[in-house]
Amino acid sequence: MSRPKPATFDKKKIVAENRRARFDYAIDQTFEAGIALTGTEVKSLRFGEGSIAESYAEVNGGEVWLINANVPEFAHGNRFNHEPKRPRKLLLHEREINKLHGAVAREGMTLVPLVVYFNSRGRAKVELALAKGRKAHDKREHIKERDWKREAGRIMRDHN
């Protein structure tokens, strides 16, 4: 019996992607979270600027915060422009927050943002992963497995 595919989210326009996260971490579960942004942050993201390469999320006081995500200042912003690396609140249901808090506290998991995107309704969202860090030997094993799958696909394609 095949494994059920994880739920995919409606990603209309991808703004920032953390491509390294899938290599550095073993992804267990993904969540879709809204982001509390100011006006100039939204405008900056709509222009395709922003980076989540070195960012992470943490549960603090019953809320989830996105830390170290870089949304550069809006070029046409005025004196009310935002701070580029400020912590941003992530919007999740209370049950999801409790689940994340329990996993991070008890099991030593990490909250890693995978993608920042706009959905079909124009809302900024973050795909947040509950992940466990990989050791160096796990990464080598992952590379071997990925290469073997690619090679097996080539062999099957050439065989037909």
Residue range 6-61, pLDDT digits in tens: 567 777 889 999 988 888 888 888 999 999 998 888 888 888 888 899 899 999 98
- How many CA atoms are closer than 13 Å to the CA of 32, on its beta-carbon side? 12
Residue pLDDT, tens place only, 102-152: 988 888 888 999 999 998 888 999 999 998 887 777 778 888 888 888 988
Run of H or E residues at 14: strand 13-17
Task: Read off the amino acid at residue 73.
Answer: E
* Alpha helices per DSSP H over 70-160: 94-107, 136-159
End-to-end, the C-alpha distance of the chain in Å comes to 25
Q: What is the pLDDT of residue 88?
A: 93
What pTM did the predictor assign? Answer: 0.78
Cα separation of 74 and 65, whole Å?
Answer: 22
Q: Would you state the pLDDT for residue 92? A: 93
With bands split at pLDDT 50, 70 and 90, how would you rate the model's confidence at 82? confident
The β-bridge partners of 91 are 34
Structure tokens at 40: 């100039």
Q: How far apart are CA 138 and CA 23, in angstroms?
A: 10
